[in-house]
Structure 1
Amino acid sequence: MTDLVRATVRDRLGHCELNRPHKLNALNFEMLQALDEVLHRWADDNSVEMVVLTGAGERGFCAGGDIADFHRAVTTGHHSDFMELLALEFKVDLLLSKYPKPLVTVAHGITMGGGIGLASHAPVRLVTATARMGMPETKIGYTPDVGGSHLLAMAPGHMGEYFAMTANSFTGADAPSLGFADAVVSESFAANALDELSDLVGLGSAEITAAVEVLHGAPESHRMATESGWIDHAFSAESPVEVVDRLRDMAHPNAAKALAMIEANSPTSVSSAFYSVRAAREEANLQLTLDRELRLAGYLMHLPDLAEGIRAQVIDKDRNPAWTPSSLQEVDLESLMQPM
Structure 2
Amino acid sequence: MVRRLEEVLAEWRKRDLTAVLIDSTDARAFCAGGDIRAIRENTLAARYAESEEFFATEYRVNATLAAYPHPVVALIDGVCMGGGLGLSVHGPFRVVTDAAVFAMPETGIGFFPDIGASHFLPRLPGAIGMYLGLTGHRVGAAEALEVGLATHYSPAEKAGQIPELLRERGERSVDEVLRQVAGAPDRPSELAAHRGEIDHCFGAASLAEIRGRLAASATPWARDTLATVDRMSPASLAVTFDLLTRGRERSLAECLDAELRAGRVVTRSADFVEGVRAVLVDKDKSPRWASEYTSDKGVRG
RMSD of aligned C-alpha atoms?
Answer: 1.8
User: Structure 1 residue 175 and structure 2 residue 144: aligned?
Assistant: yes
**1:97: Cα distance to partner?**
0.7
Q: Is this contact kept in 2: 1:61–1:108, CA < 8 A?
A: yes
1:34 aligns with 2:7: no
Equivalent pairs, count: 298
- Is the 8 Å Cα contact of residues 130 and 173 (structure 1) preserved in structure 2? no
Unaligned residue ranges in structure 1 (runs of 5+):
1-30, 336-340
The alignment partner of 2:23 has SS state of strand
Q: CA deviation at 1:328?
A: 4.9
Aligned to 2:68: 99
The whole-number CA distance in structure 1 between the counterparts of 2:208 and 2:242 is 12
2:73 counterpart letter in structure 1: V
Distance 1:52 1:166 in 2: 30
Residue 181 of structure 2, aligned match among 216, 227, 235: 216
Mind listing any 5+ residue stretches in structure 2 that lack a counterpart?
none
**SS of equivalent residue, structure 1 residue 327:** strand
Aligned equivalent of 2:234: 267
Counterpart CA distance in 2 for 1:233 and 1:123 is 30
Residue matched to 1:187: 156
Aligned partner of 1:313 among 279, 292, 297: 279
Q: How far did residue 282 of structure 1 move?
A: 2.2
Map 1:76-91 to 2 at 5 A.
Answer: 76-91=45-60
Q: Which residue of 1 aligns with 2:254?
A: 288
Question: One-letter code of the match for 1:171?
Answer: G
Tell whether the 8 Å contact from 1:103 to 1:123 is kept in structure 2 after alignment: yes
Matched residues, percent identical?
Answer: 33
After superposition, give the CA deviation of every residue in 1:211-258 in whole Å (9 maximum; x if it has no partner): 313x11121554423311111111111111111111011012111111
Q: Taking CA–CA contacts closer than 8 Å with sequence separation of 6 or more, which of the two structures ends up with the larger relative contact order?
A: 2
Q: Which residue of 2 aligns with 1:14?
A: none
Deviation at 1:41, TM superposition (A): 0.5
Amino acid at match of 2:184: P
TM-score between both structures, scaled by the size of structure 2 = 0.94
Q: 1:81-134: CA deviations, max 9, x gaps?
A: 111100000000110011001121111111000000001111222111321111
The alpha-carbon distance between structure 1 residues 201 and 37, as it changes in their structure 2 partners (threshold 3 A), is: farther
Structure 1 residues 228 and 328, CA gap change in structure 2 (3 angstroms): farther
Mapping of residues 80-229 of structure 1, within 5 Å: 80-203=49-172, 207-213=173-179, 215-219=180-184, 221-229=188-196
Query: Normalising to structure 1: TM-score of the pair?
Result: 0.83
